[in-house]
Amino acid sequence: MFIVHSYGLAILFCVITMLCWGSWANTQKLASRNWRFELFYWDYVIGILLFSIISALTLGSIGDEGRSFADDLKQADSANIGSALLGGVIFNAANILFSAAIAIAGMSVAFPVGIGLALVLGVIVNYAGAQKGDPTLLFGGVALIVVAIILNALAYRKASASDKKVSTKGIIVSLIAGLMMSFFYRFIAASMDLENFESPAPGKMTPYTAVFIFSVGIFLSNFVFNTILIKKPIAGAPTSYREYFTGNFATHMTGVLGGLIWGLGNSFNLIAAGKAGPAISYGLGQGATLVAALWGVFIWKEFKNAPPGTSGYITGMFLFFVVGLGMLIYAGT
């Protein structure tokens, strides 16, 4: 299988994760013009599972290093399989709420507030599990990102002052999603031997196998979580599975593409975690917040009609995010 051996390459993989995790929601924005997010989300989950299979059968099965996907799956013990599955369930519960937050508040709010919170708490949780990286730089970077989150929330409040109901719901749903999102990575990381991908401890899994099991957890739990939201949505009228099957091929493929993009970022992030450490790898990946905010502000024009003074908050948010992410990178050098 393919293994990352240099810190520089690990950081590159984390940057790719950042771009993927910060960009997949564009497919939801595209589909939302005539497609409910609950219906989009099924295609998105299928895309995640599909990419995990492709990754496992290619990068996870070629080369001379480590165990192949098939061999690794056979020897994995039930505790580690259960941990990766649980990670998928937790992620899916958080991410489906996060998708609802995007539908309510837009990318430039849902990402900085929800994923920003997930970044902060997730770094703490993952550093506690595997203490790798300079803690001063690591948590200093996290502190700056907290400031960026606060600035974004202030910008959103100012821009949506005329509709306080929407503002409150968008931020609350984002915060709940972010709180839940901060815990999934620790469970999938615990199922792997982060110290030795080439020859993992017996029962532990390589990142390719762990990602596959994690994706199965997402897929299976979606029958519960998404069914609930289809019948009792957070926003809008209920829809149905019958409506899902009326979607055309292009609409379904938009959702699948979103899942493939997120899945690529997820795989690269966990492959990099062995060299960079889970706290740094997760933290940089969740720098997707910055990427998504750029999409939301400059492409989707989500603050187009904001009152004077809002741009100052947005500029400050970007500056604090960039410096904070830079500190996370140097924390591992």
Helix (H) or strand (E) holding 95: helix 78-105
With b for 16 or more beta-carbon neighbours within 10 A and e for fewer, the 161-186 pattern comes to: eeeeeebebbbebbbbbbebbbbbbb
3-state secondary structure labels for all residues of 284-318: HHCCHHHHHHHHHHHHCCCCCCCCCCHHHHHHHHH
Asked whether 112 and 309 are in contact (CB, 8 A), the reply is no
**CB-based contacts of 157: which residues, under 8 Å, 6+ apart?**
167
Domains in the chain, number: 1
Place of tokens 């899916």: 92
| DSSP at 192 | B
Question: Given this model, what pLDDT does residue 78 score?
Answer: 97
Q: Residue 161: its pLDDT value, please? A: 62
Structure tokens at 44: 């998105």
CA 60 to CA 77: how far, in whole Å? 18
Q: What is the pLDDT along the chain (333 residues), one digit of tens a residue?
A: 999 999 999 999 999 999 999 899 899 989 987 899 899 999 999 999 999 999 999 999 998 899 999 999 999 999 999 999 999 999 999 999 988 888 887 776 787 788 888 888 999 999 998 888 899 999 999 999 889 878 877 887 777 664 544 457 878 898 999 999 999 999 999 999 999 999 999 999 999 999 999 999 999 999 999 999 999 998 788 999 999 999 999 999 999 999 999 999 999 999 999 999 999 999 898 888 788 878 888 888 877 777 888 889 989 989 998 999 899 889 987
**193 belongs to a structural domain:** yes
> CB of 1 within 8 A of CB of 66?
yes
- The verdict on residue 295 lying in a domain is yes
Looking at residue 14, its amino acid is C
Let me know if residue 2 belongs to a domain.
no
> In this predicted structure, what is the pLDDT of residue 89?
98
Q: Report if residue 132 sits inside a domain.
A: yes
Residue 134, domain member (yes or no) = yes
C-alpha torsion angle, residues 120, 123, 110, 16 (rounded to 10)? 140
Q: Give the range of the structural domain holding residue 16, as residue numbers without chain letter.
A: 7-330
Residue 207 domain-assigned?
yes
What is the tens place of the pLDDT at every residue in 136-158? Answer: 999 999 999 889 878 877 887 77
Is the residue at 1 inside a domain? no
